[in-house]
Amino acid sequence: MSFSDIASLLDQQRIELPSWAFANSGTRFKVFAQAGVPRDAYEKVADAAEVHRVTGIAPTVALHIPWDTVDSYSDLRRFARECGVGLGTINSNTFQDSDYMLGSLAHRDERVRRKAIDHHLACIGIMGETGSRDLKIWLADGTNYPGQDDLRGRQDRLADSLAEIYGHLAANQRMVLEYKLFEPSFYHTDVPDWGTAYAQVAALGPKAVVCLDTGHHAIGTNIEFIVMQLLRLGKLGAFDFNSRFYADDDLMVGAADPFQLFRILVEVVRGGAFGAGSETTFMLDQCHNIEAKIPAQIRSVLNVQEMTAKALLLDRTALEAAQGAGDVLGANAVFMNAFYTDVRAPLADWREERGLPRDPMRAFAESGYADKIVAERVGGVQAGWDA
């Protein structure tokens, strides 16, 4: 199989950008400010539009509420359209309010649960204005010490809360439940793994699906197996790209283990989740603490595109023949040949043929946009974790 055989397939790739990746972020110890960082959702959308302008495959921006609260979401939607992008997933936030110290949707206190549920209902209302399909829920709920709370009771309360939120979804909307092994809770997390997330969404119905985040697993976890299984079950609603060395590092996708990214995308293609008909939303979910934010998003989009091209180049006929013959080394050789294929020059040609810059990183650097926003975005409060 040659690159020309997959060129038209690459036209179908879509990668959603997170608004918060353009804001200030840092570690548990310090949030690092950068010049030119957006001060509101409009400026985040404008920066995301620059990524799409030079890559051509990042046409939507995910919002985080209340980080991206605006007076009129219809106006923000119109502004995004004028910038050449659309508004995508709406992400809820029940982890930055003092009431949620001991949990949100799984909290023992009915008042706190009510507050968390109402926040999600408000997010569904926002989805109506932005035209968004997905409500993504990641919960910091859990405990730090054995005996702190009743584990089963928390699962029951969580199920009841999710059921109420689910009941308010419109026919064309979905609930996407994200899981995470640990942090900020260290003894147990209420949604720690794909099995728990699957059990919760399966009980709700067809409009509830699972989100898989690359960094939300124990070291050594076979993430591509989880991708396969959730696709097999029809429940992989979203995949959040990032990279990590140790825990939820939220580094640029492909930075730590490009081969893992390739293996994941092989299963994405194998499972039918790649292309125009896919029901799975693929999004970057990263924090750029020390690197410039817009170039980091561009590089991340290109990393995913490169590994996708390699996954599409995998000779499945030869692979299946080797597998069927029990040829262990032969099958592995076919697999590795695809991974080692250098697709950078063909991708540059692909972009040029579509009126895109051959080198998106260089095109952005030479555009003057970075200098422009540094000069213009003076005063006000920069967006960040606490804004």
Distance between CA atoms of 268 and 308, rounded to whole angstroms?
9
pLDDT tens track for 18-39: 999 999 998 888 898 999 999 9
Q: What whole-number distance in Å separates Cα of residue 89 and Cα of residue 162?
A: 18
Residue 11 phi, psi (nearest 5): -60, -20
Q: What is the pLDDT at residue 308?
A: 98
CA neighbours closer than 13 Å in the CB half-sphere of residue 149: 22
Q: What interhelical angle do 344-353 and 3-10 show, nearest 10? A: 50
Pairing of strands 31-32, 60-64: unpaired
Burial class of residue 337 (count of CB atoms within 10 Å of its CB; 0-12, 13-18, 19+) = middle
Q: What percent of the chain has pLDDT over 70?
A: 99
Residue 93 reports pLDDT greater than 80: yes
| DSSP string of 268-311, one letter each residue | HHHTT-SSTT---EEEE----SSS-HHHHHHHHHHHHHHHHHHH
Q: Please check whether residue 201 is in contact with residue 174, taking contact to mean a CB–CB distance below 8 angstroms.
A: no
Residue 300 pLDDT class (50, 70, 90 cuts): very high
Yes or no: say if 217 and 223 are a contact pair by the CB < 8 Å rule.
yes
Structure tokens at 347: 């991708």
Mean pLDDT over all residues of the chain? 97
What's the confidence (pLDDT) of residue 385?
72
- Beta carbons of 285 and 25 less than 8 angstroms apart: no
pLDDT of residue 241: 98
In a domain, 124, yes or no: yes
Segment 119-134 mean pLDDT = 98
In a domain, 382, yes or no: no
Structure tokens at 337: 């040949």
Contact by Cβ (8 Å): 319, 331: yes
Domain of residue 84, residue span: 11-376
CA nearest neighbour of 348 among 16, 61, 3: 3
In Å, how far from its chain's centre is CA 243? 12
**Does some domain include residue 288?**
yes
User: What is the per-residue pLDDT for 386?
Assistant: 59
Q: What angle do CA 274, 278, 282 make, to 5 degrees?
A: 70
The answer to whether residue 114 scores a pLDDT higher than 60 is: yes
* Mean pLDDT across 364-383: 96
- Classify residue 386: in a domain, yes or no: no
Residue 267's pLDDT is 98
Considering only CA atoms, which of 165, 232, 152, 234 is closest in space to residue 196? 152
The reply to whether 212 falls in a domain is: yes
Q: What is the pLDDT of residue 384?
A: 87
- Reduce the DSSP state of residue 131 to 3 states and report it: coil
Q: What is the mean pLDDT of residues 75-79?
A: 98
Confidence at residue 387, expressed as pLDDT on a 0 to 100 scale:
44
Residues forming a β-bridge with 18 = 62
> Residues of 189-218 as b/e, b for ≥16 C-beta within 10 angstroms?
bbbbbbebbbebbeebeebbbbbbbbbbbe
In a domain, residue 341? The reply is yes
Alpha-carbon span 127 to 123, nearest angstrom: 6
Closest by CA to 124, choosing from 86, 162, 75, 158, is: 162
DSSP per position, 55-105: HSS--EEEEETTTT--S-HHHHHHHHHHHT-EEEEEEP--SSSGGGTT-ST
- What CATH number has the domain bearing residue 180? 3.20.20.150
Q: Does 215 reside within a domain?
A: yes
What is the mean predicted confidence (pLDDT) over 110-126?
98
Evaluate whether residue 337 is within a structural domain. Answer: yes
How far apart CA 255 and CA 222 sit, in angstroms, is: 18
| pLDDT tens-digit map of 198-213 | 999 999 999 999 999 9
* Per-residue DSSP letter, 209: E
Angle 194-204/151-166 helices, nearest 10 degrees? 50
Instruction: Give the bridge partners for 135, in sequence order.
Output: 90, 175
**Whole-number Å distance between alpha carbons of 242 and 289:** 13
| pLDDT, average across residues 299-324 | 98
pLDDT digits (tens, 9 = 90+) for 157-179: 999 999 999 999 999 999 999 99
Report if pTM > 0.85.
yes
pLDDT at residue 28 in the model: 80
How many domains does the structure of the chain reveal?
Answer: 1
